[in-house]
Structure 1
Amino acid sequence: MLDLSHPQGPLKAAIFLLAMGEKFTSDVFKHLAEDEVRQVSALMAQVQNVPGEAVQEILDEVRDKMQVVQGAMSVSVEEFLKKVLFSSMPEEQAIAIYEDILHQLHPSTFQKLSGLDPKVIVNFLINEHPQTIAVILAHLSPDLSASVFSELPERFQADVMLRIANLEKISPEIVAEIDRVLEEELFSVEMSDATKVGGAEKVAEIMNNLDRTMEDTLMEKIESSSENLAEEIRKLMFKFEDLLGVDATGIVALLKEISTEELKLAFKAAPEELKDKFFDNMSERAAMMLKEDLEVMGPVRLKDVEQAQQAIIRTAKRLEGEGKITLGGKGVDDVLV
């Protein structure tokens, strides 16, 4: 709960900007870092009615020439934020921040589904049209989509994946219709702007979270339908073997984030060249101990090996997102050389 009577820190900044208006706020946002814009915008989105004395106290504090607001301040924050964000930064960046704020204020059906067990979600989807299933899976996180996808009957899988790959923008009308279908059994939802949710990139993300057997089977079916689409998806996918493209500094950073147990399992089905790359970037003692563990390690389930490899890939992608490593996966043209 926000303390609007005695606001402090970023909340004080949010109220001040609301009081100053859209143009002033737009100018201020141009000088803030993106994370600062997100923080202040999120607080502004939660502000509804601010006591007049609190507003005046803030305005007095900044010691600038401006009109003192009398009485309570009531603002239409969503429209205010939309105008401010789109006038102060590139459209793509503004859309990302604005949609994040809206999702915080109005959790969608798809966000609420994220809290359910994959098998429960499948029970809701099993009688839906494959296109509806595709739209819903495209809105979920890749790991949850993969879990739900694995529970779908095999006869649906290739069709649904192809539909996800061919999704572009989903109109509010279609989303509203999907909501209407789900609402009776699940949740209510508020959705606004059309959002790109599918495409080859989304399929690649989901594929990266599936086991290798299912991945290969689906790729064969997608390729039989569209060779160009299958090739595009392959270029966007990142496999465990692609870690060969990571430089020594990146391997060292990755080793700091993963467990020896994960690495040991992942190495059970890894090419010797990749193992050597990791060994070369470990201490001599650590490399020797891991080699000894692998020599005495008994048979393990392929599923466990693939899960370990996927966990390491997810860690690598997180580190890439943080700017700590560069992944040189298939089809990547901007790898530094």
Structure 2
Amino acid sequence: MMDFDDFGGALAEKPLSQAEKAAAVLLAMGKTVAGRLLKYFTQHELQLIITSAQSLRPIPPDELAQLVAEFEDLFTEGAGLMDNAKAIESILEEGLTPDEVDSLLGRRTAFQAYETSIWDRLGEAEPAFVGRFLLREHPQTVAYILSMMPSSFGAKVLLELPESRRADIMNRTVNLKDVSPKAAQIIEKRVMSLLVEIDSERNSNGSAKVAELMNELEKPQVDTLLNSLESLSKESVNKVRPKIFLFEDLMLMPQRGRVLLLNDISADILTMALRGSPVEMRETVLASISPRQRRMIESDLSSGTTGINPREIAIARRAIAQEAIRLATSGQIQLKESEQDPAAQAA
């Protein structure tokens, strides 16, 4: 009586392709014989055989015998077809040079693709984001990373670093010696972690949308919403808060950017935005504009806020904040001071 195993073996198997047949016969041969045959295949044929070997189904002995018969000049030296991928690699190593094996198995191609794409991908990031990441790294590591970046992108990243660190990093980059493969691998793993952060930042469309909505509101409303959000998720607040920029955040801007922004804003809008603002805020803004424009605005502000619609004040402030965001997006200004160099802080 036929048992279940015998019954299953009697079922017709799916016919093998030519590449699968070649892979099966090569795997059944001894390495010496198979290795000598490899030179008769083109590279394309060998790649097909390698791919087929990795997904080759079990070959029953009688089917293998039929396959071997198709190759009249071949003699089998065993029918072990387990671990096909490792076996085909062993056969390749018997008949080809190490470089040829690497090329066929895609080792070198994969490494070279990784080696080039990692720096190309980094060049697509925001220079300010990469600059903040590099502040956490050793200067020698920063020098190596800068040397590997596309020149135009590396220059932008360098300008994002504190001025107190730029000279040292440029000097290290100029005098950079050959980096050992092990050290390069460690650094590239750090860059890969940076790329993960960049991808995460790009994918945070939700936080960007929420920030855009909040940028249309007034500070008390934004503070209330952030407090409510924080009660649910501090992580969400940490994603949204850096993307929010309000009129009051002018206090956090670098003076150079503040001057560039405010000197392009009309005196009427500035005057309206400053009505009802704290003294410190008013002084910060007035110190960033020309003396002539300052005198004009101070004169207008002396009339107070009587008869002024609060909504007009909110609109003026929002207009200034939106212009700041636009200039920052185009790379012309920074919305906030860069992180200070630890050495400078210690001093």
Pick the TM interval, shorter chain.
0.3 to 0.5
Q: TM-score, normalised by structure 1?
A: 0.38
User: Larger C-alpha radius of gyration, 1 or 2?
Assistant: 2
Q: TM-score, normalised by structure 2?
A: 0.37
Would you tell me which structure has more helix in proportion to its own residues?
Answer: 2
